[in-house]
Protein backbone atom coordinates (compact mmCIF):
# COMPACT_ATOMS: atom_id res chain seq x y z
CA UNK A 1 0.00 0.00 0.00
CA UNK A 2 2.82 2.31 0.73
CA UNK A 3 4.20 1.92 -2.78
CA UNK A 4 0.81 2.71 -4.31
CA UNK A 5 0.57 5.95 -2.24
CA UNK A 6 4.09 6.98 -3.36
CA UNK A 7 3.17 6.37 -7.00
CA UNK A 8 -0.06 8.32 -6.59
CA UNK A 9 1.86 11.34 -5.15
CA UNK A 10 4.47 11.15 -7.91
CA UNK A 11 1.72 10.93 -10.53
CA UNK A 12 -0.03 14.02 -9.06
CA UNK A 13 3.19 16.09 -9.04
CA UNK A 14 4.06 15.03 -12.61
CA UNK A 15 0.51 15.85 -13.79
CA UNK A 16 0.62 19.34 -12.25
CA UNK A 17 4.04 19.97 -13.82
CA UNK A 18 2.76 18.91 -17.25
CA UNK A 19 -0.32 21.16 -16.90
CA UNK A 20 1.93 24.16 -16.06
CA UNK A 21 4.22 23.47 -19.02
CA UNK A 22 1.24 23.29 -21.38
CA UNK A 23 -0.36 26.41 -19.89
CA UNK A 24 2.68 28.73 -20.26
CA UNK A 25 2.16 29.50 -24.00
CA UNK A 26 -1.52 30.19 -23.39
CA UNK A 27 -0.74 32.49 -20.45
CA UNK A 28 1.55 34.47 -22.77
CA UNK A 29 -1.52 35.57 -24.72
CA UNK A 30 -3.00 37.22 -21.63
CA UNK A 31 0.02 38.38 -19.62
CA UNK A 32 2.24 41.05 -21.17
CA UNK A 33 5.88 40.94 -20.15
CA UNK A 34 7.94 44.13 -20.75
CA UNK A 35 10.37 43.68 -23.62
CA UNK A 36 13.22 45.13 -21.55
CA UNK A 37 14.46 47.46 -24.26
CA UNK A 38 13.13 50.87 -25.13
CA UNK A 39 13.07 51.91 -28.81
CA UNK A 40 14.80 55.27 -29.34
CA UNK A 41 17.35 57.28 -31.31
CA UNK A 42 20.27 59.24 -29.85
CA UNK A 43 21.56 62.56 -31.17
CA UNK A 44 24.72 64.17 -29.80
CA UNK A 45 27.19 66.96 -30.42
CA UNK A 46 30.87 66.81 -29.45
CA UNK A 47 33.68 69.35 -29.50
CA UNK A 48 36.66 69.36 -31.90
CA UNK A 49 38.49 66.57 -29.99
CA UNK A 50 35.36 64.34 -30.14
CA UNK A 51 34.70 64.96 -26.45
CA UNK A 52 31.87 66.73 -24.62
CA UNK A 53 34.12 69.75 -24.01
CA UNK A 54 35.90 72.67 -25.72
CA UNK A 55 32.91 73.55 -27.88
CA UNK A 56 33.42 76.66 -30.02
CA UNK A 57 31.95 79.69 -28.26
CA UNK A 58 33.79 83.00 -28.85
CA UNK A 59 34.06 82.98 -32.63
CA UNK A 60 35.79 85.45 -34.91
CA UNK A 61 35.84 86.29 -38.59
CA UNK A 62 38.35 84.30 -40.61
CA UNK A 63 38.71 81.43 -38.15
CA UNK A 64 37.55 77.86 -38.76
CA UNK A 65 35.77 75.86 -36.07
CA UNK A 66 34.65 72.24 -35.84
CA UNK A 67 32.24 69.98 -33.99
CA UNK A 68 31.17 66.34 -34.35
CA UNK A 69 27.52 65.38 -34.72
CA UNK A 70 26.41 61.79 -34.12
CA UNK A 71 23.38 59.51 -34.09
CA UNK A 72 22.77 56.15 -32.40
CA UNK A 73 20.02 53.83 -33.65
CA UNK A 74 18.18 51.80 -30.98
CA UNK A 75 14.87 51.44 -32.82
CA UNK A 76 15.08 47.67 -33.32
CA UNK A 77 15.31 48.13 -37.10
CA UNK A 78 17.33 49.95 -39.73
CA UNK A 79 16.37 53.61 -40.12
CA UNK A 80 16.82 56.35 -42.71
CA UNK A 81 17.82 59.56 -40.91
CA UNK A 82 18.32 63.16 -41.90
CA UNK A 83 20.00 65.91 -39.86
CA UNK A 84 19.21 69.54 -40.68
CA UNK A 85 21.71 72.22 -39.64
CA UNK A 86 20.04 75.55 -38.80
CA UNK A 87 21.21 78.93 -37.52
CA UNK A 88 19.36 81.48 -35.40
CA UNK A 89 19.65 84.50 -33.12
CA UNK A 90 18.24 84.51 -29.57
CA UNK A 91 14.76 85.64 -30.64
CA UNK A 92 14.15 83.15 -33.45
CA UNK A 93 12.21 79.97 -32.80
CA UNK A 94 13.79 76.68 -31.71
CA UNK A 95 12.04 73.31 -32.19
CA UNK A 96 9.06 72.81 -29.88
CA UNK A 97 9.76 69.71 -27.78
CA UNK A 98 6.28 69.62 -26.22
CA UNK A 99 4.49 69.76 -29.59
CA UNK A 100 7.18 67.69 -31.37
CA UNK A 101 7.51 70.40 -34.03
CA UNK A 102 10.71 71.46 -35.81
CA UNK A 103 11.93 75.04 -35.95
CA UNK A 104 10.34 76.95 -38.85
CA UNK A 105 13.78 78.26 -39.84
CA UNK A 106 15.08 76.94 -43.17
CA UNK A 107 17.86 74.33 -43.07
CA UNK A 108 21.27 75.45 -44.28
CA UNK A 109 22.95 72.07 -44.57
CA UNK A 110 21.88 68.45 -44.28
CA UNK A 111 23.19 64.95 -43.74
CA UNK A 112 21.22 61.90 -44.94
CA UNK A 113 22.18 58.33 -44.04
CA UNK A 114 20.83 54.84 -43.33
CA UNK A 115 21.82 53.32 -40.01
CA UNK A 116 21.23 49.73 -38.96
CA UNK A 117 19.94 48.91 -35.48
CA UNK A 118 22.55 49.06 -32.71
CA UNK A 119 25.03 51.12 -34.76
CA UNK A 120 26.22 54.71 -34.53
CA UNK A 121 27.03 57.34 -37.16
CA UNK A 122 29.31 60.31 -36.47
CA UNK A 123 30.76 62.97 -38.76
CA UNK A 124 32.77 66.20 -38.37
CA UNK A 125 31.30 69.55 -39.33
CA UNK A 126 33.49 72.62 -39.88
CA UNK A 127 32.17 76.16 -40.05
CA UNK A 128 33.51 79.67 -40.46
CA UNK A 129 32.31 83.27 -40.83
CA UNK A 130 33.78 85.74 -43.33
CA UNK A 131 31.16 88.47 -43.69
CA UNK A 132 30.29 89.97 -40.33
CA UNK A 133 29.16 93.56 -39.78
CA UNK A 134 29.23 95.27 -36.37
CA UNK A 135 27.26 98.44 -35.66
CA UNK A 136 26.75 100.27 -32.39
CA UNK A 137 24.52 97.72 -30.64
CA UNK A 138 24.06 94.83 -33.05
CA UNK A 139 25.88 92.46 -35.36
CA UNK A 140 24.92 91.11 -38.76
CA UNK A 141 26.15 87.70 -39.89
CA UNK A 142 25.86 87.81 -43.67
CA UNK A 143 26.86 84.22 -44.37
CA UNK A 144 28.26 81.04 -42.89
CA UNK A 145 30.56 78.46 -44.48
CA UNK A 146 29.69 74.86 -43.55
CA UNK A 147 32.00 72.07 -44.73
CA UNK A 148 33.33 74.36 -47.44
CA UNK A 149 29.93 75.52 -48.77
CA UNK A 150 28.86 79.17 -48.28
CA UNK A 151 25.27 79.87 -47.20
CA UNK A 152 23.77 83.40 -47.03
CA UNK A 153 21.90 83.94 -43.76
CA UNK A 154 21.71 87.70 -43.02
CA UNK A 155 21.02 87.12 -39.33
CA UNK A 156 21.21 89.97 -36.80
CA UNK A 157 21.69 89.90 -33.05
CA UNK A 158 21.48 92.71 -30.50
CA UNK A 159 24.41 93.34 -28.16
CA UNK A 160 23.84 91.75 -24.75
CA UNK A 161 25.57 94.06 -22.23
CA UNK A 162 25.04 91.60 -19.33
CA UNK A 163 26.93 88.83 -21.13
CA UNK A 164 29.19 91.01 -23.32
CA UNK A 165 28.38 89.68 -26.75
CA UNK A 166 26.10 89.11 -29.71
CA UNK A 167 24.77 85.59 -29.39
CA UNK A 168 23.76 83.12 -32.07
CA UNK A 169 22.98 79.43 -32.03
CA UNK A 170 23.77 76.72 -34.54
CA UNK A 171 21.51 73.73 -33.96
CA UNK A 172 20.97 70.28 -35.43
CA UNK A 173 17.52 68.68 -35.85
CA UNK A 174 17.06 64.92 -36.25
CA UNK A 175 14.46 63.71 -38.78
CA UNK A 176 13.37 60.12 -39.48
CA UNK A 177 11.94 58.67 -42.69
CA UNK A 178 8.34 57.50 -42.29
CA UNK A 179 7.49 54.73 -44.76
CA UNK A 180 3.73 55.21 -44.29
CA UNK A 181 3.75 58.78 -45.61
CA UNK A 182 6.89 58.40 -47.77
CA UNK A 183 8.67 61.41 -46.28
CA UNK A 184 10.85 62.54 -43.38
CA UNK A 185 9.26 63.60 -40.07
CA UNK A 186 10.91 65.57 -37.28
CA UNK A 187 12.11 63.01 -34.69
CA UNK A 188 11.81 65.44 -31.72
CA UNK A 189 15.53 65.60 -31.01
CA UNK A 190 17.92 68.53 -31.43
CA UNK A 191 21.30 69.66 -30.11
CA UNK A 192 23.02 73.03 -30.33
CA UNK A 193 26.08 75.16 -29.76
CA UNK A 194 25.98 78.79 -28.64
CA UNK A 195 28.24 81.22 -30.49
CA UNK A 196 29.34 84.67 -29.32
CA UNK A 197 30.37 86.84 -32.25
CA UNK A 198 33.32 88.90 -31.07
CA UNK A 199 34.08 90.48 -34.43
CA UNK A 200 37.82 90.41 -33.96
145-198 residue pLDDT tens: 999 999 999 999 999 888 888 999 999 999 999 999 999 999 999 999 999 987
Domain with 15 in it: 1-33
What pTM value is reported for the model? 0.80
Question: Which long-range contacts link 133-139 to residues 24+ away (Cβ below 8 Å)?
Answer: 134/166, 134/199, 138/166, 139/166, 139/197, 139/199
Do residues 65 and 114 share a domain? yes
Do residues 29 and 82 share a domain? no
Do residues 153 and 63 share a domain? yes
Do residues 82 and 66 share a domain? yes
**pLDDT reading at 49 higher than 80:** yes
Do residues 28 and 44 share a domain? no
Q: Number of folded domains in the chain? A: 2
Do residues 76 and 131 share a domain? yes
Indicate the DSSP class of residue 103: -
Residue 23 pLDDT? 54
Do residues 18 and 109 share a domain? no
Nearest to 166 by CA among 182, 155, 151: 155
Do residues 103 and 15 share a domain? no
Do residues 57 and 143 share a domain? yes
Do residues 9 and 91 share a domain? no
What are phi and psi for residue 24, nearest 5 degrees? -55, -50
Do residues 10 and 71 share a domain? no
Amino acid sequence: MRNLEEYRGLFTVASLGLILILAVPTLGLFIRVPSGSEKFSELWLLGPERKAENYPFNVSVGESYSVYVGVGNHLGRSAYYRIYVKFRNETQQLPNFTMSEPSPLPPLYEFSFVLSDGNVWEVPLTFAFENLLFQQNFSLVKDITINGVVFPINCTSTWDSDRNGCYYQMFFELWLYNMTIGDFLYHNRFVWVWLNMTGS
